[in-house]
Structure 1
Amino acid sequence: MKKLLLLFIAITSLATAQKKDISLDEIWNGTFSTEQMNALNSMNGDFYTLLNFNNKTQSTSVDKYNYATLEKIETVVDSKNLTELNYFESYEFNNNETKLILGVNSEPIYRHSSLGVFYVYDLSSKTLQLIDADKIQEPTFSPDSKKVAYAKNNNIYIKNLETNTVTQVTADGLKNSIINGICDWVYEEEFAFVKAFEWSNDSKNLAFLRFDETEVPTFSMDITGTGLYPTQQVFKYPKAGEKNAVVTLHIFNFELNKTSKIDIGEYEYIPRIKWTNNANVLCATTLNRHQNDLKLYFVNVTDFSTEVVLNETDAAYVDIHDNLTFLSDNSFIWTSEKDGFNHIYHYSKEGKLVKQLTSGNWEVTNFYGVNEKTKTAYYQSVEDGSINRTIYSVSFNGKNKKRLTNASGTNSASFSKNKNYFINTFSDANTPPVYTLHNSKGTQLKEVLNNNKLTEALKSYKLSKKEFFMLKTETGEFNAWMLKPSYFDETKTYPLFMTQYSGPGSQSVSNSWNSANDYWFQHLAEKGYIIVCIDGRGTGFKGAEFKKATYLNLVKYETIDQINAAKELAKRPYINNYEIGIWGWSFGGHMSTNCLLKGSDTFKMAIAVAPVTSWRFYDSIYTERFMRTPQENQEGYDNNSPINYADKLQGKFLLVHGSGDDNVHVQNTMRLTNALIEANKPFDLAIYPDRTHGIYRGKNTRLHLYNKMTTFIEENLGKTAKNQLEL
């Protein structure tokens, strides 16, 4: 028996030895990328379109497919047939799908925004019509398809496609002063939208937001560039407690060529505008500065009267979402966590509660819409466990709930417009994305696309299985995962490297397929590290109480939870309690810094990439949502800012930032650098010139960064960990 066991171990070791280590170059050169359905767009009827690229002809096309058969029906447009365009990067249909807007030469501005050149393509005449000779933003068809509204140079324009004439709706747009129809920096970043104008259903009115940034403080960044002298990027950025842009609501009537300003009471923010199914009624969402008092206003454009149809308040804050859906009678679907968990509600057009469609100690994580004919709503939730996502349907009366996807993992649906079909994307920690077709009752009809080639290719690499578990500490029970080296031996000890993000409502412990960082963690595991991720208090999908436990004290309790988690893990016999490190990016970088400083008896080293180092430096909307203003909550801001206790540094510390970060400014790193210098504390610093928050633009940028971090880990955490274990 002993000989058989030794033979089995020898064979297993030989098989493992024949497999390859994941290299950093492979992680960042696309070796492990997954196949996807690009720019999937649901069409009228049982059809969908995809944006496809032909390597042979170097052209792009919009191709139409049948949901029921998955067969290609036709090519709607192919750039190889267009003399004016060699390719296009984006497409958008009009309502009756007789025209498309095609976009080329896109130029990024901030996280979501971009400029580009856009054309209208007419399917019947197969002709292109240039919308504007200059680069523009957010071109949008009117519902009657006769006009296109767009933004240029902070103003709004409307092009009449029939007469080829252009109407300038606003004329006061001015950089760093007045913006019409496009969000300012902080709205784009924190309310996650760019286009701040919307057509009424009858195409007669265009509602839009106007941002007066005049009194918003200006932030500037030096751009190193490639010239003899650097330049500057200057933009308005409201930091916590500072003045925001004054945002007002306006409606332009195309027939009268007249703009009216709408009075919607007292507010600080207008985070959403949306026309109801009544062409004369606009819905505007307002928030106070504390973001704990939300109102839905109905604005009647016939007399500009306003009415509050829903008022939601919270002791902490109310989240903004895009789940507001109007039914044919102008009643509406809304999601709220007012009962402690995010659920679906149906309200009458007067704002009276008709029915709470879902309930329970679990969260609705996505709302896909409704089929009014069958009175059915479709949604995604964590009913199968907070690290999983499953698709469900439920009747308007709150009954007949049905699970539409069976596999436990992460399911995400793309429904046809009529809700007869949906394409489900499934993955888990061991399965790369698989796309399958389902009918509205959940029956799986066909497999659309899989990543079997990637699965097969990965068999030649050394990979460890991600183990999910609940970690119980002094401060709670938390979702966690662990990666061990493929050659793990429970009789030996290993250094521990912790990864986390920890931001409000976020989730890092999810049963889904690998991100690029997961491959990095596999790379580190093979070097002899145990990798662990913990979602502590403040993270999402476990109810409002868990998420909002950190209110007014960002990173205080999150830091305590990571330190306690490290101490609990260190009790395990195979973890070296003297060799524990942690890293994070952005909010996670703030956390890793805090853990190293406040948990100096626990953590030996940390890496912080693009970290916030004082919430006083971050933007108003995000920071005040969780902290209120510095004027109201001085202790909450300063007691958890590492620039105020840099003298606590004992371990090894690598600080990384992009100098062109418009989000978390490099000011954060420079101020912490000064504090560390004044405290005479040694540390390592890496500045990536002109790189933004993601530190990815430019040749080999990500590879360089991850080489640097990997080397730092090897030199400062269980030095040459794998070699030590092999001795």
Structure 2
Amino acid sequence: MKIISKWMGVILLASSALFTTNVMAQDLKKPTLEDLIPGGETYRFAKSLYGLQWWGDTCIKPEIDSLFAVNPKTGKETLLLTRERINQALEQEKLGKLSHLYQVSLPWAEKTQLLITLPDNYIVYDWKADKIISKQALPEKAANEDYNTVSGHIAYTLNNNLYVNDRAVTNKPEGIVCGQSVHRNEFGISKGAYWSPKGDLLAFYRMDESMVTQYPLVDITARVGELNNVRYPMAGMTSHKVTVGIYNPETQKTIYLNAGDPTDRYFTNISWAPDAKSLYLIELNRDQNHAKLCQYSVETGELIGTLFEETHPKYVEPQHPIVFLPWDNSKFIYQSQRDGFNHLYLYGTDGKLVKQLTSGNWLVQDVLGFNSGKKEIIIASTEYSPLQSNLFKVSIATGNRSPLGTPEGIHHGTLSASGSYLIDTYSSPEVPRSINLIATQNGKSINLLTAEDPFKDFTMPSIEVGTIKAADGMTDLYYRLIKPADFDPNKKYPTIVYVYGGPHAQMVTGGWQNGARGWDIYMANKGYIMFSLDNRGSDNRGLEFENATFRHLGIEEGKDQVKGVEFLKSLPYVDGNRIGVHGWSFGGHMTTALLLRYPEIFKVGVAGGPVIDWGYYEIMYGERYMDTPQSNPEGYKECNLKNLAGNLKGHLLLIHDDHDDTCVPQHTLSFIKACVDARTYPDLFIYPTHKHNVRGRDRVHLHEKITRYFEEHL
């Protein structure tokens, strides 16, 4: 076992001196769930600068009543305009009023114009001329709005159909959805319409899900409960069919790509050629082990060619559209995990690899954009540590990388128009939030905000981060251990393992409080050791680390979590007879599985929104990691927790939301039936009207419910 860092505290005085003595801690109060949980009446969080953005290469800092321009070279702030002035112009046109300026944007670098988004209205205001330039009203129930700042066209959806500039692009019956995200938001897909570079053409998804089985959810708020059916394609069952259309607002005509029969095919990561004559997408087969980068003619919809293909014996998961070099329309950046980590590859439009731009046992997490003048690409990566996200500039010519910003923490960047400057927002274990302007040429930094600890006046626990070996005996796994503020090494403490364990998530980070959640802090202050371990299968460690769980989700992950418990039991202050576990979604599956597979280890568990049977989960995610029930019957049987219901010996509380359309209630209800048949006795709690998690004020209730269960049984 290796301890990497400790974050002790926290009593952070105005002088920024750090004290860790328990004597002083006793003089401070402990934060409550209302302080720690989003939705709490007194929820505390680090100060931020909302709506911070670029106007060309000038940083714009909105406040409630004023909009400031910040010179990125000097940090000097200049008042640009006031809310009062904007509201006068809006009221003259009877367009309502702004209550703050955090949501206005300045997308036109060469113009003195604001884009103002009001409910059901997009407004362009020129502050130099002091007048409204344009306004576009939207229907009351419009959704998925996409305003193009080049052409001024606006796309949106009403129910299941797509509209542009108040004109219907599609007129499809229920069961066919247009202009919305498809494939259950997998493969990096987050929207359903894509404007061309000049905003004069719109590519969009059309998804026929009329053949997909409907899952019944019940709305209990009606006088008599009403049925809410959702199309939910379960693993091994019939999936939806997706096609891609291209709409021309000038001619009001639509063509569809001639991709052939869309059955059991995924069309992902749409991108436009800079000249808008071609549309690119990454096609994936249903087995998700064969991807193709395809180029289609925008004029005819015909396939121009397949530039290249990528296969893997387990799975390929494209998540990023290609990005063309701003200074060379014949070359683009393609992201791939083909060497085991997500890296950047430079290709020509002839499909030939020019070179691999990044490499190493770390991964590129994001592409922020380009500095065209220097011919550099700006990225975020895990090069420094898998717990971190740091910013770098990469030379396209040489591949040389230079860091931007501080070496510690988790960084999120927003690049200016030219790529010369960067808004860098980061947190680290000791820094709740820091926002800086960075010159990408020389790394010079100007601090706009360093937030103070929102819990500086509270008693807070101590946090440690370290590594242990996985169950394979070779792989390092990161853990986070939280001790009570009044920790006594001579006492024995009950311990709660907070677990997620699935792909695309990481519990232990190099960010604020090492990623600890408010409930972790709360329970540590109540006298529990809180522990989290990122097992094999979780995020930011590369493809081999992730796909070690392929075709048997929950098995290897559980073995790693048991290694975590073995480490805990080696600590003299941990009561090995009082180990609990809690998690949600994939973490709910893990919680339930750990109690059933290791009943001698785990005494209490609280499983929220758990996956019980992967056969009940949706196709895109489930089949990527498990294949189909038909091709992997042994894996589905082994991972079906209903088959282990008779093993339950400890106390298990299952919590589910009655409108969960991600992990449908059938999971929990079928497990309860299996337990009845096996004569075991879990507990059940339902949150009405919520989906896959409990939001808003009810979130405090949720965590009080979880707390009480552990207090009663652990």
Paired AA for residue 315 in structure 1: P
Alignment of 1:698-717 (within 5 A): 700-717=697-714
Kindly indicate whether the alpha-carbon contact (under 8 Å) linking 2:501 and 2:538 is maintained by their aligned counterparts in 1. yes
Please state whether the residue corresponding to 1:331 is helix, strand or coil.
strand
Partner of 1:291 in structure 2? 288
Q: Deviations over 1:263-300 (max 9, x none)?
A: 13566111222211122111122111122211221112
Q: Which residue of 1 aligns with 2:243?
A: 248
Give the letter for the 1:261 counterpart: Y
Structure 2 counterpart of 1:253, one-letter code: N
Q: What aligned pairs does 1:495-506 form with structure 2 within 5 A after superposition?
A: 495-506=494-505
What RMSD in Å do the two structures reach over aligned CA positions?
2.4
Q: Which residue of 1 aligns with 2:424?
A: 424
| Match for residue 202 of structure 2 among 197, 200, 206 | 206
CA contact (8 A) 1:66 1:73 kept: no
Q: How does 1:346-425 map to 2 (within 5 A)?
A: 346-425=346-425
Structure 1 residues 516 and 563: alpha-carbon distance in aligned structure 2, compared to 1, 3 A threshold: closer
Matched positions, count: 673
* Equivalent position amino acid for 1:419 in 2: G
What residue number does 1:24 align with? 33
Q: Is the 8 A contact 1:508 1:534 kept in 2?
A: yes
Match of residue 230 from structure 1: 225
Given the two structures, how large is their TM-score scaled by the length of structure 2?
0.89
Q: Give the Å deviation of 1:90.
A: 4.8
1:196 maps to 192
Structure 1 equivalent of residue 15 of structure 2: none
Tell me how far apart the structure 1 counterparts of residues 515 and 657 of structure 2 sit (CA, whole Å): 19
Given that 1:99 and 1:122 are in contact with CA atoms closer than 8 Å, whether structure 2 keeps it comes out as yes
* Partner residue, 1:475: 472
Of stretches 33-42 and 526-535 in structure 1, the one that deviates more from structure 2 is 33-42
Amino acid at match of 1:216: V
Partner of 1:695: 694
Matched ranges for 1:425-504 at <5 A: 425-441=425-441, 443-452=443-452, 455=453, 458-476=455-473, 477-504=476-503
> Closer, same or farther in 2 for the Cα pair 1:644/1:488, shift >3 Å?
same
Q: Does 1:131 align with 2:127?
A: no
The yes-or-no answer on 1:38 pairing with 2:50 is yes
Identity of aligned residues (%): 30
Are residue 261 (structure 1) and residue 256 (structure 2) matched? yes
Change (3 A) 1:368 1:12: closer
Tell whether the 8 Å contact from 2:148 to 2:199 is kept in structure 1 after alignment. Answer: yes
Q: Distance in 2 between matches of 1:516 and 1:371?
A: 32
- CA deviation map 1:658-679 (0-9, x unaligned): 1111211122111111112222
Could you tell me whether the CA contact under 8 Å between 2:616 and 2:667 is conserved in 1?
A: yes
SS of equivalent residue, structure 1 residue 578: strand
Over residues 361-394 of structure 1, what are the superposed CA-to-partner deviations in whole Å (9 max), with x where a residue is unaligned? 1111222122232121111111212112221112
User: Where does the alignment leave 5 or more consecutive residues of structure 1 unmatched?
Assistant: 1-10, 55-60, 106-116, 160-165, 718-727
Indicate conservation of the 8 Å contact 1:536/1:558, yes or no.
yes
SS of alignment partner, residue 568 of structure 1? helix
Alignment-derived partner of residue 556 in structure 1:
555
How far apart, CA to CA, are the structure 1 residues paired with 2:230 and 2:252?
32
Indicate the residue corresponding to 2:161 in structure 1. 155
Q: Residue 644 of structure 1: CA displacement?
A: 1.6
Distance 2:54 2:239 in 1: 38
**Alpha-carbon displacement from aligned partner over 1:61-80 (angstroms, at most 9, x marks no partner):** 77654433352452387663
Quick one: which amino acid aligns to residue 259 of structure 2? I
Give 1:568-717 correspondences, 5 Å limit: 568-697=567-696, 700-717=697-714
Structure 2: how far apart are the matches of 1:63 and 1:347?
Answer: 41
Give the Å deviation of 1:40: 3.4
Task: Report the CA distance between 1:94 and its aligned residue.
Answer: 5.6
The answer to whether 1:309 aligns with 2:307 is: yes
Counterpart CA distance in 2 for 1:192 and 1:50 is 30
Cα gap change, 1:51 to 1:661, in 2 (>3 Å): farther
Stretch of structure 1 that moved more, 30-39 or 466-475: 30-39
Structure 1 pair 102–238 and aligned structure 2 pair: CA distance change class (3 A) = farther
TM-score between the two structures when normalised by the length of structure 1: 0.87
Shift of 1:646: 0.6
Alpha carbons 1:276, 1:330 under 8 Å: kept? no
1:94/1:243 CA distance change after superposition, 3 Å: farther
208-217 vs 137-146, which deviates more? 137-146
Deviations 1:149-180, CA, capped at 9 Å, x for gaps: 32223222222xxxxxx433222x223x1112
Q: Which 10-residue stretch deviates more, 587-596 or 254-263? A: 254-263
Letter in 2 for 1:239: M
Q: Are the aligned partners of 1:119 and 1:130 in contact in 2 as well (CA < 8 Å)?
A: yes
SS of corresponding position for 1:436: strand
Say if 2:508 and 2:516, in contact at 8 Å, map to a contact too.
no
Partner residue, 1:723:
none
Note closer, same or farther for the CA distance 1:92–1:540 as it changes in structure 2 (3 Å cut): same
Choose which of 114, 117, 122 in structure 2 pairs with 1:119: 122
Query: Which of 86, 100, 108 lines up with 2:97 in the alignment?
Result: 86
Counterpart residue identity of residue 468, structure 2: L
Shift of 1:146: 4.4
Separation in structure 2 between the aligned mates of residue 313 and residue 443 of structure 1, nearest angstrom: 39
2:252 counterpart letter in structure 1: N
Counterpart Cα distance in 1 of 2:320 and 2:502: 21
Q: Distance in 1 between matches of 2:664 and 2:514?
A: 25
Q: Which has the higher contact order (CA 8 A, sep 6+)?
A: 2
Whichever residue aligns with residue 29 of structure 2, its letter is K
**C-alpha spacing 1:40/1:324, structure 2 compared with 1 (3 Å):** farther
Cα contact 1:294–1:312 (8 A) shared by 2: yes
Question: For the Cα contact (< 8 Å) 2:480–2:514, is it kept in 1?
Answer: no
1:67 aligns with 2:109: no
1:442 Cα deviation (Å)? Answer: 5.3
- Partner of residue 16, structure 2: none
> Which range is displaced more, 393-402 or 573-582?
393-402
Q: Distance in 2 between matches of 1:442 and 1:223?
A: 58
2: CA distance, partners of 1:95 / 1:248: 33
Q: How has the CA–CA distance of structure 1 residues 425 and 442 changed in structure 2, closer, same or farther, with 3 Å as cutoff? A: farther
For structure 2, the 5+ residue unaligned runs are 1-19
Task: Return closer, same or farther for 1:474/1:466 CA change in 2, 3 Å cut-off.
Answer: same
Which amino acid counterpart does residue 557 of structure 1 have in structure 2?
E
Match of residue 13 from structure 2: none
Q: Say whether the 8 Å CA contact 1:94–1:141 is kept in structure 2.
A: no
User: 1:18 Cα deviation (Å)?
Assistant: 0.8
Distance change in 2, residues 1:515/1:568 (3 Å): closer
Q: Give distance in 2, aligned partners of 1:237 and 1:92.
A: 37
Opposite residue 360 of structure 2, the aligned amino acid is G
**Change over 3 Å in CA distance of 1:266–1:72 after alignment to 2:** farther
SS in 1 for 2:282: strand
Q: Secondary structure at the match of 1:170?
A: coil
